[in-house]
Amino acid sequence: MALPLSYSLRNLWTRKLTTLLTAGGMALVVFVFAAVLMLEAGLNHTLVDTGNVENVIAIRKGAGAEIQSGILRPAAGLIESQPQVETGPDGAPLSSKETVVLISLQKRSDDKPSNVTARGVGMLAFNLRPQIRIAAGRVFRPGSHELVVGKSIASKFQGAGLGEVIHFAGGNWNVVGIIDSDGSGFDSEIWGDAEQLMPAFRRQSVFSSMVVKLADPSTFDAFKHAIESDPRLTVEVKRERQFYADQSEAMATFIRVLGMTLTAIFSIGAIIGAMITMYSAVANRTGEIGTLRALGFRRSAVMGAFLVESLLQALVGGIIGLFMASFMQLVTVSTMNFQSFAELAFGFTMTPGIIIKTLLFSLLMGLIGGFMPAARAAGMNIVTALRSV
């Protein structure tokens, strides 16, 4: 009992310019909407994917971030000797005791200083983070003043490129390798030997955090209980993924609130635009509406045809907006993560979920914008409508 889809489609095609202008307005909103979701997904990808499922991170109880945390050597020894911790072929626990400090580097672009995370690690750190590969050069030699630098840092900061020298803590450090962790937070870090970095920063006896790999991730709760109930330890443990998700929460919330506020405001304009277009479509086709009703099409069929027209128009806007937003994948944002106070680079990530959400969002705008005009079309008196021919 419905009108054919082609009726709505061809009417959109007949008024190409109006359709395109209306859909274009919606596309701009959709672009903002999709870009926000993509940014959030990018941030999530960067921070959450920094963590590994099997890994557990230990920090001082109450320390929100590694930079505020401290774990003494004896405590570190106790943690890695827990039975849940995986051991290597040599019987040594798979753990990395790490020290995290912020160093100030100058940007290549404008000489402005910015904080960069420097992480002192043991050589097992690379085994614990299999996503990290050496993109250029080689790994630092233990016992030397050598560094590897995340790819986002290498290009952005003075002295951070391969073969260059960084000055900090009263010494010169040679950059011997570039690490690529596929967009995770490690791409925004500088790594060196913990036993070299710690004395340089005069904190020989205290690590910032430590990461261990569990032999079986399901034993996490037992491990956590053992550590957190041990009176000798003032340490809390988190799954590494959870830890990084918590790190990104404030920024993700900020992006989401800002983006959704913008989207909400813009979408009112786009919906009003769609409404005006649909009202004029209804007014222009009053005679057609009367004719269709006379032929026996019900009010609901007329309502449906105009709603479908509005939805299709919005879908055009949604697709254009998504297409524009997909180019944002080429853009990388580098900004200060206000939870760790360090520079963090992340990109816009398109996911199937975002495509679906964005198209649904555009359809929702079409539905809201088209509802009242479609209701007006459906509510027309047949005789009055026919007299308008």
Partner 1 sequence: MSDGNGAAPPLVRLHDITKSYKRGAQIVPVLSGISFDIGAGEFLALMGPSGSGKSTLLNLIAGIDQPDSGELLVDGVNIGALSEVELADWRAGNVGFIFQFYNLMPVLTAFENVELPLLLASLSRAERRDHVEAVLELVGLQDRAEHYPNELSGGQQQRVAIARALVSDPNLIVADEPTGDLDRESAEDILKLMQTLNRELHKTIILVTHDARAAAHAHAIMHLEKGELSAREEVTGH
Ligand X SMILES: Nc1ncnc2c1ncn2[C@@H]1O[C@H](COP(=O)(O)OP(=O)(O)O)[C@@H](O)[C@H]1O
Phi, psi of 203 (to 5 degrees): -140, 60
Q: Name the segment binding partner 1 (CB under 8 A); options: 61-69, 116-124, 205-213, 291-299.
A: 291-299
Contact call for residues 312 and 8 (beta carbons, < 8 A): yes
Please give the Cα distance from 314 to 27 (Å, whole number). Answer: 8
Can you say whether residue 143 is alpha, beta or left, with left for phi > 0 and alpha for psi between -120 and 50 degrees? left
Structure-token match 């590897």, residue found = 148
Residue 1 or 389: the one with the smaller Cβ distance to ligand X is 389
Query: For residue 264, with 0-12 CB atoms within 10 Å meaning exposed, 13-18 middle and 19 or more buried, which class applies?
Result: exposed
Among 100, 383, 386, 388, binds ligand X (CB under 6 A): 383
Q: Which H or E element spans position 278? A: helix 240-284
Which of 23, 384, 386, 388 is the binder for ligand X (CB under 6 A)? 384
Q: Report how far residue 284's alpha carbon sits from residue 167's, in angstroms, rounded to the nearest whole number.
A: 73
In the complex, the smallest distance separating the C-beta of residue 296 from partner 1, rounded to whole angstroms, is 3
Instruction: Name the helix (H) or strand (E) containing 54.
Output: none
Binding test (CB under 8 A) with partner 1, winner from 298, 329, 338, 360: 298
- When binding is defined by CB under 8 A, the residue of 201, 279, 297, 341 that contacts partner 1 is 297
Per partner kind, with CB cut-offs from 5 to 8 A, the member of partner 1, ligand X, none near residue 309 is none
Place of tokens 């198209």: 359
Pairing outcome for strands 95-106 and 113-121: antiparallel
* CB of 317 vs partner 1, minimal distance in Å: 21
Give the x/- contact pattern for partner 1 in 248-287, rule: CB under 8 A: ---------------------------------------x
Stretch that binds partner 1, among 38-46, 72-80, 89-97, 378-386 (CB under 8 A): 378-386
- Which of residues 6 and 218 has its CB atom nearest to partner 1 in the complex? 6
Residue 294, binding choice from partner 1, ligand X, none, Cβ under 5 to 8 Å by partner class: partner 1
Question: At its nearest, how many Å lie between ligand X and the CB of residue 301?
Answer: 23
- Contact call for residue 291 and partner 1 (CB under 8 A): yes
Helix (H) or strand (E) holding 104: strand 95-106
Q: Residue 282 and residue 288: Cα distance in Å, rounded?
A: 9
The one of partner 1, ligand X, none whose footprint includes residue 171, by CB under 5 to 8 A per kind, is: none
Residue closer to partner 1, measured from CB, 13 or 254: 13
Query: Whole-angstrom Cα distance, residue 37 to residue 35?
Result: 5
Give the number of other CB atoms < 10 A from CB of residue 28. 17
Least Å distance, CB 383 to partner 1, is 5
Distances (CA, A) of 71 to 207, 232, 289, 344: 5, 12, 76, 25
Instruction: Give whichever of 14 and 335 is closer to partner 1, judged by the CB atom.
Output: 14
**Which residues of the shown chain bind partner 1 in the complex (CB under 8 A)?**
1-4, 6-7, 10-11, 13-14, 287-288, 290-299, 382-383, 386, 389
What residue ranges bind ligand X (CB under 6 A)?
383-384
